């Protein structure tokens, strides 16, 4: 394995984060903090507890997942799209580095950024509400698994997109609404039976449910199902990435 090449791609992508610190870290943290203030004050005053947990504390895992999902996709998609846009992708493809190593460098950097952001938001949330993490190992496992999975998904979007509009289309029109409808601010069990059944078709429900269980041991669906769904989506993304490099889809032209 060409560790030097992986390290070069990884450090280059990480360096871009520090150059755009306000956009990459500060802006998502401030936006999430506003969610705590607005939802905690406006809705928390009307809904004191959800499944035995104060409302302000209940929404913490959902808000962390919201940021991790969106930032994983944004970081990975832009990371691979920009070399395509300026033409430097051909230098990478012609270098003595395998497709696996290319993906490892880009996806590893995007996932690292999202994990750092998630931990910062978690620490920030502790300033607003009391937190108690019952299963810290599982919390980190869900955080890492989600960051890697959606960084792979973002990598696919970056290769598929042929313009900046398409780069933003799926995250804005699909992923963000699914996250808001996935139980970020409420328990799926609070929905009427028909809407609860519909909600279970939303894959984000399983991510948030499993992540919330690691905090408070409450979940909308079984934890094993949450892990299985996440791993299934991860494997699907890996197969798609393999097919893209195998066929040269939107890379060779």
The whole-number pLDDT of residue 32 equals: 80
* Residue 253 pLDDT: 60
Q: Which of 200, 212, 251 is closest to 84 using CA atoms?
A: 251
Q: What is the largest CA-CA distance in the chain?
A: 60
- Token readout for 95 is 């270098």
> So what's the pLDDT on residue 166?
83
pLDDT at residue number 130:
82
List the chain residues with pLDDT less than 50. none
Residue-wise pLDDT tens digits, 190-200: 888 888 888 88
User: What pLDDT sits at residue 150?
Assistant: 95
Over the range 79-111, which residues count as b (16 or more CB within 10 Å of their CB) and which as e?
Answer: bbbebbbeeebeebeeeebeeebbbbbbbbbbb
Q: What is the separation, in whole angstroms, between the first and last Cα of the chain? A: 27
pLDDT of residue 149: 94
Q: What pLDDT is recorded for position 88?
A: 84
Tokens of 138: 């599982």
φ, ψ (nearest 5 deg) of residue 20: -120, 50
Sequence-distant (6+) residues with CB within 8 A of 126 are none
pLDDT at 108: 94
């Amino acid at each position: 394995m060409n560790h030097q090449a992986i390290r070069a791609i990884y450090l280059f992508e990480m360096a871009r984060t520090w150059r755009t610190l306000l956009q990459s870290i500060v802006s998502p943290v401030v936006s999430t903090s506003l969610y705590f203030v607005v939802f905690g004050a406006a809705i928390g005053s009307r809904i004191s507890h959800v499944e035995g947990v104060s409302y302000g504390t209940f929404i913490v895992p959902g808000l962390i997942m919201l940021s991790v999902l969106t930032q994983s996709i944004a970081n990975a998609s832009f990371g691979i799209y920009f070399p395509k846009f300026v033409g430097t992708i051909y230098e990478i493809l012609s270098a003595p580095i395998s497709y696996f190593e290319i993906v490892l460098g880009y996806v590893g950097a995007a996932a690292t950024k999202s994990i750092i952001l998630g931990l910062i938001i978690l620490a920030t949330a502790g300033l607003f509400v009391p937190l108690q993490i019952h299963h810290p190992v599982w919390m980190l496992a869900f955080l890492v698994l989600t960051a890697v999975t959606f960084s792979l998904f973002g990598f696919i979007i970056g290769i598929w997109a042929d313009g900046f509009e398409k780069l933003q289309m799926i995250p804005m029109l699909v992923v963000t609404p699914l996250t808001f409808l996935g139980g970020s601010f409420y328990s799926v069990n609070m929905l009427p039976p028909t809407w609860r059944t519909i909600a279970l078709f939303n894959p984000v429900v399983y991510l948030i449910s499993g992540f919330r269980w690691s905090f408070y041991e409450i979940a909308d669906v079984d934890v094993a199902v949450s892990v299985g769904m996440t791993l299934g989506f991860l494997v699907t993304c890996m197969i798609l990435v393999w097919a893209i490099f195998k066929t040269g889809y939107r890379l060779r032209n």
